[in-house]
Structure 1
């Protein structure tokens, strides 16, 4: 599960940053200044990266046995600006809560 979780966290941040750049920088440049360069480049990149996000989310959800509803909601998080960051934090907390706590060894 560790590798799947690391892959999910990395791609969640990458997709989140790409979407924020697209919406907060690319869209104003396109509609205010009529320059669609950022939208063309970052929009295409976000589309491909979102596919990786979906695959990473699916992989993680199957490994930790999430219900279908949770998996779908986390998958949709990559489509709304800033929500992938929130979802990544929630997933981190969910998985931390599911990990069994092992007592720390006491030095003697």
Structure 2
């Protein structure tokens, strides 16, 4: 999966999406229910790093695969929606692209 540009993008999308879910559904409740704000600091920093990497990889993948604006826009929007990357990944599996190596 990591041998193609699209494969690398899909893996990065998985990690970025997972970090968002961990931030929203684990770290935030721990902060507000148990009063441990340090977890949000750590998980939020990791998520921020992965988000920046995801956006950069989105731009790179758009250049390499010659994505249309629709795919670029979709990839950026789903980064803000919980489980959005999983939906995009399903659509990417169905789509066919002429992948430049």
Higher mean alpha-carbon deviation, 3-12 vs 57-66, is at 57-66
Determine the structure 2 residue equivalent to 1:54.
Answer: 55
Alpha-carbon distance in 1 for matches of 2:89, 2:59: 14
Which structure has the larger Rg? 1
What CA deviation, in whole Å up to 9, does each residue of 1:43-78 have, x standing for no partner? 111111011111111111222222223202212211
Aligned Cα root-mean-square deviation (Å): 1.6
Structure 1 stretches of 4+ with a deviation exceeding 6 A read none
Give TM-score, length-normalised by structure 1. 0.78
SS in 1 for 2:66: coil
How big is the shift at 1:21?
0.7
Provide structure 1 residue ranges, at least 5 long, that are not aligned to the other structure.
Answer: 100-108
Alpha-carbon distance in 2 for matches of 1:87, 1:46: 19
Q: How does 1:65-104 map to 2 (within 5 A)?
A: 65-94=66-95, 97-98=96-97
How big is the shift at 1:37?
2.1
Give TM-score, length-normalised by structure 2. 0.83
Alpha-carbon distance in 2 for matches of 1:86, 1:92: 10
Alpha-carbon distance in 2 for matches of 1:85, 1:51: 18
